[in-house]
Every structure is written in structure tokens, then in C-alpha cells.
Amino acid sequence: PANASHGHGHTVFLSDKEEVYRIPALHYDQDQKILLAFAEKRRTSNDASAEVLVMKTGALVKDEATLEISVKWSVSRNVVEKVHLGGFRPMNPCPVYEKTTKTLFLFFICVEGNVSEPWQRFWGVNKARLCYMTTRDAGQTWSSVTDLTVNFPQTKQWATFAVGPGHGLQTESGRLIVPAYAYVSRFPSCFCVSCFFAVSRAFCFYSDDKGATWQLGNTLDDKSVECEMAEVSDGKGTRYVYCNARNEGGYRVEAVSDNGGEDFLTLPPAEKLAETGGGCQGSVVSFPAQPGGSGANQEPRWLLYSHPTSQSTRVDLGVYLNKSPLDSCAWSNPWILNEGPSGYSDLAYLEGGWFACLMERGEASEIEQIACNVFSYIQVKKGIENISHSLKGLT
């Protein structure tokens, strides 16, 4: 639709009384021109009832008359199941693509039995493990599960941790980055950690050898939860890893790293990026600067960010544009992509100024379905301009 704010996109995973789909993650395969959509399939809305990570592939279809892009989705497939993981439930899908070997890594955490995150935080006993699978044929076949937890003894000191959810990235230098967060004790020497002493902080796992071995970056200084990352540059050739993280009320946490995600410097809060209630996951993706950008010092890569726009409840998913990613004051007003109940989302940049957003949405509740909306930079630009004109008219 020309005005995507009134279109809800096309349903990809539909929840019912028997199963609930949550936690969308999205990857665009440039070679095959298809989208790979991932989600958790649960028995109920409860996090502890997750059982399977599912996947659909979506073929892009361009209407030559209208130039609109639609997606034709496959049937759903199970990628990894709790019953095959010794009773550990797979959660938080986080795909990251290695370009030279054409390998898609699907990272996720495995959590023991039905143990909840609040239980782990209260007792300070981490029951989560870091795992991944790979595919080289866009999800038709998958490797067995690799468990990396033993490589990171630090996880024993954490109350719990998770990756993403949503996509990771590969930087221009070839580094693979998997965004993550952990509940880390304020008092590392204290082994009787409880929820009162464990604070969530974002960080990343990274690999410089195409995913053969993985390292652990340092955490953000500020309290931060679920996060996504993107690579940006200052227009002078210096590249940065940008992090956008969930917060508990107030505003989103933004940070930048000049050493590929090993250390982060927190940016001043962007008042345009209000956090929703007790917090909600959001997505961020960088993309090439588009024609018609203003200013001589425009960035070679811009940012697009998606999140519910209300400060109180998960409604009205908006996309925000930033043409100067190192400036937290440079965010636009949001263009509303989905009116009504909206939750978690994941953005993918397709090419040629087109994007896809996989999002939780519904009529009465945001967990009724996961839908996909494909839209262009031109639509985003027009939508933001219309909102800015409306706001000027109110002042």
C-alpha cells in the first residue's frame, strides 16, 4: 500500500489457542532474493513454554506496473526443537550471515526445562546456554547444534543472559557480531547473587575468523537489555558499531564502539526514542545513504529503527530515520508502520532503497500474529515529512 501506516503487512505466523508465535528475527538472502523469517513457537504466551524455533522463506515479487514488492511465503518448518535438545528450550533467534563462505549462522539460547528468566535472576543461577546452527542453502538444510557455552566460563558468574533477539551483522572488515545482554552481578566476588544485585547490560559476541572461534566484548556501562547493532561511519572513513538497547522506561540506550564492539561509549539519551512502559525490544539496521540527502557532510550509511511509539503501552509501531548516526539528536519523528497493538520487530535492508519489517501485531493484543511489511525509503521519507508538517501545524 502507498500508505503503509494503514496496512498491517501480511501474516507470516498466526497464533491460536494451541500455539503462540513470538520473537521475530529476519534475514535477507541477497543471492536468492528471499527473506528468512524466524520465530519462537510456544504453547502459551509464557516465555517458559517455548518449544520450537520455526522458519519460513519468503520470495520477493515485484509488480512492474506499480513497482510495489510483495512476499510469497513458504510453509512453516521447524529448525530446532526442545525435544531434540535434551529438554532445553530454544529461544531468541538471532541470524548473522558470513559473506565469504555464504554461511548463515542462527544463534539462539537454550534454557533448561521450564526455568524462567525471573527465577534465574532471583537465585543467580544461569540455566541458559549459547548455541548456533548453520545453513549454506538458505535454510533448506541445517547443521547440527553447536554449544559454545563451555568456551565462556564467565556465563557461570551471570544470573542469566540471551542473544538479540533479531539479526546480527558482519562488518566491512569481516567481523561477525552477535548482539547479547547479560544480568551481571554488581559484586562479582559475591556468589549469593540475587535479582537485587544483578543488572542487565548489553554487549556482543564476535568472531574474526568467519565463525570458527568466538570472543566476548565488554558490556555497556549503562543498564541495558535486549539490543541490536549496526555498522555506521563518520563520513571520514572511520567505522563504528552502533548499539541500540532496550531500557526500563525513559529513553532507549544508544552506544557506539570504535573497536568493532569490544568496548562501547554510551551516547546522550535521544528524547525522540522513548522507551515503552517496562521496555520493549526494538530493531535497527544501517543502509546506504539515499539520493536527495541534505548537507555536504551526510553520512555514507544511515540508520532505520523500529519500535512501538507509545511511552506507556505496546502500540503503534513506528520507524525512525537518522542520517547522522553518531548524533543521538538527529533522529526523525516516527512514521507509523503498524497502527494498534505492536510488539517486537526485526528490520532487514533489502536493496535499492527497500526494507522489510517482521513484527508482532494484532487487533486486541500484539501477540496475535507475526506479520511482514515491505516498504521503501521513499515511503519512509514521505511519511516522516507528513508527520513533521502535521506537528508544525499544531504549534
Neighbours of 215 (CB within 10 A): 14
Q: Helix (H, G, I), strand (E, B), or coil: what is residue 364?
A: coil
> Residue 77 and residue 287: Cα distance in Å, rounded?
30
Is residue 64 annotated as part of the catalytic site, yes or no?
A: no
Q: Which helix (H) or strand (E) segment is 379 a member of?
A: helix 377-394
**Which of 55, 45, 185 minimizes the C-alpha distance to 108?**
55
What's the residue count for the chain?
A: 395
Is residue 344 annotated as part of the catalytic site, yes or no?
A: yes
**Residues 161 and 136 sit within 8 Å (Cβ to Cβ):** no
Cell 548473522 sits on residue = 96
Among 21, 28, 344, 377, the one annotated catalytic = 344
User: What's the N-to-C CA distance of the chain in angstroms?
Assistant: 30
Neighbours of 168 (CB within 10 A): 25
> Residue 28 and residue 285: Cα distance in Å, rounded?
12
Among 117, 275, 360, 366, the one annotated catalytic = 360
Among 28, 29, 40, 47, the one annotated catalytic = 47
| Residue 106 grid cell | 542462527
| Residue 201 grid cell | 547490560
352: exposed, middle or buried (Cβ count in 10 Å: 0-12, 13-18, 19+): exposed
> Residue 258 and residue 99: Cα distance in Å, rounded?
22
Neighbours of 122 (CB within 10 A): 15
Is residue 360 annotated as part of the catalytic site, yes or no?
A: yes
Neighbours of 64 (CB within 10 A): 6
> Which residues are part of the catalytic machinery?
47, 344, 360
